[in-house]
Amino acid sequence: MHCRTVPEFAKARGYSESSVLDTQARQKGLIVYDPPAKPGEPPTHVYRHPTWERAGYLGPLTTDRAGNIYVAPAPRVSLYDNPPEQQNTIYKVDTTSGEMAEFMRLPAAAPTSSQNPYGVLGLTYDCDTHSLYASSVAGSTLADEVGRIYQIDLASGKIRSQLVRTDAFGLAVFNGTSGKRLYFGAARASEIRSVALADDGRFVGRPRVDVSIVGWGPEGDDKARRIVFDVRNVMTIRGMEFEFNLIATSERRQSEYHLAYDPTSDGWRRLEPSAE
């Protein structure tokens, strides 16, 4: 599962596995940098390719086994730099050249609504099947959940399967005792859900609820913006408030939660801060 590698253009500029790809800076686009030596200090060795501002402000990000980077737009305070008609687009940063270009426009389930300025909210990559998974809420309204999660075959560049009527946030693939599953944060509920994946990465059956995070965080209604699994089988959830309104991600309060996997029950238990 952990097959991602440093892009070739970054290696050529002296970056290593400890470098950071960041779309959450207060400026448009993507940056790569080395983490500071001490907490609170600014990052060092910062690089930005001239093409990385083409899509305005960016949000979800993932890399594949060759070091290609996949990103999607994320509107902040204004739609000027991120018009709604472009929010269902995935961009690819070439591992060799570092140039960013449009990779794919995902089909929306319904026309863009003034109630919802968002499109792609989550991206993740599965090493085993060379699949890119993308969650989109394009077309959803306050009343109708019509979002989709797409499985994209990177070998062909085509959509292989879809999970419909699902508004999802952060995505991550995990191999548990019941097989491989795609985990995702529900965009309308404080829950982590998952769906089984076939050997070729296609969706199998309906999603299940794995973890409730109701009551966690400052207001108790966090949504899982990001999910990460590490080599210890610990799930890290980055939660924040999300109500489909246009508030800059950097201005939202964010919290991290850590859960340990129990292979016997194929379930998760929250770790106390001292055990994390």
Cα-Cα-Cα-Cα torsion 174, 177, 180, 184, nearest 10 degrees, comes to -50
Helix or strand or coil: residue 50? helix
d(CA 224, CA 210): 13
pLDDT at 213: 96
Contact 87, 59 (CB under 8 A): no
d(CA 165, CA 31): 33
pLDDT at 85: 86
pLDDT at 212: 97
This prediction has a pTM of 0.94
pLDDT at 214: 96
Strands 168-176 vs 44-47: parallel, antiparallel or unpaired: unpaired
Contact 63, 7 (CB under 8 A): yes
Give the DSSP per-residue string, 40-51.
Answer: TSPPEEEE--GG
pLDDT at 273: 65
| Domains annotated on the chain, with CATH | 8-215 (2.130.10.10)
d(CA 239, CA 236): 10
pLDDT digits (tens, 9 = 90+) for 252-269: 678 999 999 999 999 999
Residue by residue, pLDDT tens for the chain (276 residues) are: 568 789 999 999 999 999 999 998 778 999 999 998 888 888 999 999 999 999 999 999 999 999 999 999 998 877 888 888 899 999 999 999 999 999 999 998 888 877 899 999 999 999 999 999 999 999 999 899 999 999 999 999 999 999 999 999 999 999 999 999 999 999 999 999 999 999 999 999 999 999 999 999 888 999 999 999 999 999 999 999 888 877 645 556 789 999 999 999 999 999 976 444
